[in-house]
Amino acid sequence: MKLSSSLMRCNFIIMKKIAVLITVHNRKDKTISCLNNLFSQVLIDRFQLDVFLVDDGSTDGTSQSISTLFPCVNIIKGDGSLFWNRGMALAWHTSAVNNYDFYIWLNDDTLLYNDAISVLLEASNKKENKAIIVGTTLSCTNETITYGGRDNSKKIIKPDGELKECIFFNGNFVLVPHYVFRILGTNDSFFQHSLGDFDYGLRAQKKGVRIYVAPSVSGTCDTHDALPIWCNPQKSFTTRWKHFRTPLGHNPEEYFIFEKRHFGITSAIFHYITNHLRVLFPRIWT
């Protein structure tokens, strides 16, 4: 029996699968806004979008609201001890058993433009889906660049319509093809909250994986402009020291390993000492 021409054409359409990885904690309204934007993306029909969201111990009803509003989202429960980087690693490990073609990192305070994913996919295709593609975000209020790919001095690279190579990147909105995942694996769960994105970029450099900033801005995300508690001279030493050693502070052991891994033991020791001095004498830096 002969197949119809339309059915024969369908046999040649291969559905590409994308896993979107998100970690959240007690930001229900922002998370819902992020997901609304995500599911409004303009994607051509041959892409399947699956979301793997780690709710790291939220107490504001985040999981319940997501289950009601977005029943297709895969919710992974944490106990509040994962923080951002380990939450992202858990989401990645969970999704990776399905062998996705692409993995997207997305912060829940990032609001994507409708064509953001399509732009990153097009950029990836130009690099034969063998490079990391980084999205850039603007402030919601004054349209200054907030997060994205960075050069060797860690200065954010401004999109100008062309693919631009970068060294570091913020993990707010990043596309990682399966080819890159096979080489690098997931982000390193040694790091609890921050540093996982910078570490991933530097690991990519060592493995010969290129990183590019997408040609246009991907969305909006405000910065956290307040001076960190651990180096704020308005706070007591006890408060600064306690926060210094938390995952949300400037955890010295993690920073030491990061520096030693990528910049050598001398740099690691130097910054280990100066970071402690900054806790003791924060006014020198301010």
Task: Give the span between the Cα atoms of 47 and 239, in whole angstroms.
Answer: 49
Q: Which residues of the chain have pLDDT under 70?
A: 1-14, 44, 225, 286
**pLDDT at residue 226 in the model:** 74
How do the domains of the chain map onto residue ranges?
A: 14-220, 229-284
* Coil, strand or helix at 185: coil
Nearest Cα to Cα of residue 133 among 204, 31, 50, 37: 204
- Decide: 141 and 130 in contact? Cβ < 8 Å: no
Q: Give the pLDDT of residue 2.
A: 38
How many separate helices (H) and strands (E) can be counted in the chain? 10, 14
CA distance 49 to 17: 6
For the record, the structure tokens of 101 come out as: 């073609």
Query: What is the Cα–Cα distance from 191 to 83, expressed in whole angstroms?
Result: 9
Residue 88 to residue 81: CA distance in whole angstroms: 13
| Threshold 0.85, pTM exceeds | yes
CB 173: neighbour CB atoms within 10 A? 26
pLDDT digits (tens, 9 = 90+) for 218-246: 999 998 767 889 999 999 999 999 999 99
CATH architecture designation of domain 14-220:
Alpha-Beta Complex (3.90)
